[in-house]
Amino acid sequence: MASNETFNYKEALQQSDRIEFVKAMVHEVNDHEMRKHWTLVRRCDLPDGTKTIMAIWSFKRKRYPDGTLNKHKACLCAHGGMQTWGQNYWETYAPVVNWASVRILLAVAKIHGLPSKSIDFVLAFPQADLEVPVYMELPLGFDAPENESRKLYVLHLNKSLYGLKQAGYNWFAKLGNGLEDRGFVPSSVDPCIFFGNGCIVLTYVDDCIIVADSMNRIDALLLSLHDGDENFVLQDEGSIEKYLGVNIRQIDKDSFELTQPFLIEHITTFLGIADGKTNEKLTPVGKPLLNKDLLGVPRKYDWEYCGIIGMLTYLTGSVRPDIAMATHQCARFSVNPMRSHEQAVMRIGRYLLSTKEKGMIYHSDSDKGLEVFVDADFAGGWDPEDALNADNVYSRTGYVICYAGCPIYWQSKLQTEIALSTAEAE
C-alpha cells in the first residue's frame, strides 16, 4: 500500500485508478453546482481592484480504519493563502473536540447502555454562507460556456468553500447555532460538546457522535437537522463502530476495545518497515534516554521526521498511551534530528508493527468515579558522562485520569523546573 494516498491534480491523473478520480471530480463539481455554491460571472464585471484567488484540486483514496478502500475523493478547494485579512476574511478559529471528550462519552454510553449514532455532513463547509464577496479562478478541468476563453470568467463564491481562511469558523458557527436553536447548550469545558434534553452531540468538524436516552430522540434530531431552515445535508453513518479512524469493537456488555491498525500500518509503511522484522524486545523505548546528540552521526533515511512525529502523537492521544513517553522523547528533537533520534523512532515503529492489532480495552465499572494515577521519574535522563548538561536532569511527570475504570486522559511530559530530590519531583 502506498505511504501517501493524497494527490494534487497532476499526480492524480498519473495514478492507475485515475478514471475513478475523474469521476470523483465530476461528482464534486455537480454537487457544488446543484447546491449553487458559486455563480459564474464575467471578469469584466468585477468591481475595480478585485483580486481573485486560485482554485486547487485535492484528491485522496479514503479508507476505513481497517485499511479497506472506502471511496475516491476529489475536493475542490480555494487557495486561502491568497486571501487578505480585513478584506475577504476576519475570524478563522474553529475548535475541534478533545479526545478525552470522545472517550468519556463512549464510556458513559457503554455504562448506561445508551443508543448512539455517527453522522457525516456532506460538503460541510460549503453549507455555510460567506460574509464577504470572494472571487475564484476557474478550476482545472472546468470549461467556460459556449467554447469561450476560460480567462473571460471567474466564479463568485456564494458559500464557504474548503480552503478559505474562514471556512472552518463559518461552518462551526452555523452548526453550533443550529444546535442551540434546537435547545442545545455548549459545554463550558469543551465547546464541541452540546447538551440537549436527554441527548448529547459531539462534533469534530463535519463528523458528529450523538448519544441519547432513546433512538427515537436521535432520529428526531436528525430529521430536524435535515428538514430545518438551515438546509443541512447529512448522512447517517449508523452505529459508532468507526469514528475518526478508530475501530470501536464491542467485547461484551461492559467492555469494548479501541484500535487504529490502519494508522499503524501507515506509520510503518512511511518508515519503510511494514514488511520488516518486529521489535523482539517489545518495548517502545530503550536506554539511555535521548539527548540532543549534537556530535552524533547524521540521519540515514530521508523520511520526514516531523511528519512521523505528528502521526505518532495522534496515535498516542487516541488509543496508544503506551508510546506516550517514547514519542515525546523523539518529538523534543524534531528541529535537528540525528541518527540516534531516527533509531528511536524506528524502534517505536517496530514495536507498533508487533502490536498492530492491539489497542485500549475498556472495562467499564459504574461503581467507580474519577480516579487519577500519577507518578514522577526523578532526573531519569541524567547521564554521568554528560553530568553538567541541565537538559538531562529534568524530571518526567506521567499521569492517567480514569472515569468508571476507563482511561480518558493521559500525559507524559518533562517538568519545567529542575527538581532536587525524588520528593520534590513528585
Average pLDDT, integer, range 360-378? 88
Residue 406: count other Cβ atoms within 10 Å of its Cβ.
24
Measured at the CA of 24, the angle between CA 135 and CA 131, to 5 degrees, comes to 25
Q: How far apart are CA 21 and CA 6, in angstroms?
A: 11
Q: Of 360, 374, 363, 330, nearest to 348 (Cα)?
A: 330
Residue-range domain boundaries for the chain:
6-244, 259-360, 364-425
Q: Is the pLDDT of residue 365 over 90?
A: no
Q: Alpha-carbon Rg of the chain, whole angstroms? A: 25
Average pLDDT, integer, range 65-80? 86
> Lowest mean pLDDT: which of 108-122, 182-196, 296-310?
108-122
Number of H helices and number of E strands within the chain?
10, 19
Q: How far apart are CA 176 and CA 170, in angstroms?
A: 10
Q: How many Å separate Cα 44 from the centre of its chain? A: 41
Burial class (CB in 10 A: 0-12, 13-18, 19+), 375: exposed
Predicted confidence at residue 280, as pLDDT, reads: 64
What does the mean pLDDT of the chain come to? 88
Predicted confidence at residue 65, as pLDDT, reads: 64
Better-predicted residue by pLDDT, 177 or 379: 177
> Lowest mean pLDDT: which of 51-60, 159-168, 198-207, 286-295?
286-295
Residue 410: count other Cβ atoms within 10 Å of its Cβ.
18
Predicted confidence at residue 106, as pLDDT, reads: 82
Predicted confidence at residue 279, as pLDDT, reads: 64
Q: How far apart are CA 313 and CA 286, in angstroms?
A: 18
> 312 near 348, Cβ under 8 Å?
yes
Average pLDDT, integer, range 125-134? 92
Q: How far apart are CA 354 and CA 279, in angstroms?
A: 7
Q: Is the pLDDT of residue 133 over 60?
A: yes
Q: Is the pLDDT of residue 99 over 50?
A: yes
Q: How far apart are CA 376 and CA 397, in angstroms?
A: 4
Q: How far apart are CA 39 and CA 97, in angstroms?
A: 34
Residue 65: count other Cβ atoms within 10 Å of its Cβ.
19
Q: Of 176, 79, 90, 101, nearest to 131 (Cα)?
A: 90
pLDDT digits (tens, 9 = 90+) for 409-418: 888 888 889 9
- Please report, in angstroms and rounded to a whole number, the separation of the first and last CA atoms in the chain: 46
Q: How far apart are CA 199 and CA 197, in angstroms?
A: 5
Average pLDDT, integer, range 220-246? 84
Q: Is the pLDDT of residue 11 over 70?
A: yes
> In a 3-state reduction of DSSP, which class is residue 191?
coil
Cell numbers for 96, please give them.
475541534
Q: Is the pLDDT of residue 3 over 60?
A: no
